[in-house]
Amino acid sequence: LNVMFRKNLSEFVKELRCTEAMQVTSTSPRTIQKAEGESVTLGCSYTPSPFDTGELDIEWSVVSPDTTQKDQMLISYTSGNKYLHDLAKGLSFAAGDPSAGDASLSIAVLSPAHTATYQCKVKKSPGVDTLKMSLVVMVKPSVPKCWVEGGELVGEAASLHCQSTEGSTPLKYTWRREIAGPIPSAATQNSATGELKISNHSLSFAGIYICEVNNAVGSERCRINLKANKSPNRAAVIVGTTVGSLLLIFILLVFHRASLLEVQQQTSL
């Protein structure tokens, strides 16, 4: 009977330890998107069980995408001391005392190189738990350049273009008019390339246009004034060209006749 009691008690203690094991949690999303130059805190809170009586050990590391390679240690806390490793420039524990239950990691100035999967590991024997989260550092779009292709002539094709030279993909371009209402439906725009195509330009398209480019972490814009110039009268152009040609021929004939007279006068002398 005593043996059975001890066995049941042992199993009960094991179950109790399992239900009250070390727990690592975070209020941060599992995937975080941030812009270059910003700061971030990767949340990591822990609660040891009453049975975890060993020395507290906290480790932050970058998880290697290659499972055959070791993870890269960033920052750790053990025996009441903080340790910064080779890759920990600009990194620190968010809390002054990580032993109080907050093992969150702060990164002061983000760069694309900080894009990685991070792991927070808390150990206090016999308890141990880990938490992973992904950080994606993106570059905001640069101020785009706006320009017009085509002669801006009524009745002909014209296209507005908008392009950023920097920015993490995907970039989305959106054209709109500043004050003259919506863009006529006859125009088509490509949100991936930044082109607004007008197949038959008219006065209804004239005005100031704004192009906005955005991605997950920022946006920028540029402005351009689209004109609608009337095409010159073709008949007038033809008449003008003809008259100009005849006038040129007349002038050449006059000069030629004058040259002949001058030669004749010199010969007679």
Closest residue by Cα to residue 63 from 135, 112, 128, 127: 135
Instruction: Name the class of domain 145-226.
Output: mainly beta
21-138: CATH topology is Immunoglobulin-like (2.60.40)
Q: What does the pLDDT read at residue 96?
A: 93
Position 85 pLDDT exceeds 90: no
pLDDT digits (tens, 9 = 90+) for 2-36: 555 455 545 544 444 444 689 999 999 999 999 99
Q: Is 201 left (phi over 0), alpha (psi -120 to 50) or beta?
A: beta
pLDDT digits (tens, 9 = 90+) for 43-73: 999 999 999 999 999 999 999 999 889 999 9
Q: What does the pLDDT read at residue 16?
A: 44
CATH 2.60.40.10 occupies which residues in the chain? 21-138, 145-226
H or E element, residue 42? strand 40-42
Q: Which residues contact 246 (CB under 8 A, 6 or more apart)?
A: none
Q: What does the pLDDT read at residue 1?
A: 52
Strand extents, DSSP E, 157-217: 158-163, 172-177, 188-190, 195-198, 207-215
Mean pLDDT of the chain: 88
Q: What does the pLDDT read at residue 150?
A: 86
pLDDT digits (tens, 9 = 90+) for 151-175: 899 999 999 999 999 999 999 999 9
Q: What does the pLDDT read at residue 6?
A: 54
pLDDT digits (tens, 9 = 90+) for 106-136: 999 999 999 999 999 999 999 999 999 999 9
pLDDT digits (tens, 9 = 90+) for 196-247: 999 999 999 999 999 999 999 999 999 999 999 987 655 455 656 776 777 7
Q: What is the residue whose two structure tokens read 């932050």?
A: 60
Position 251 pLDDT exceeds 90: no
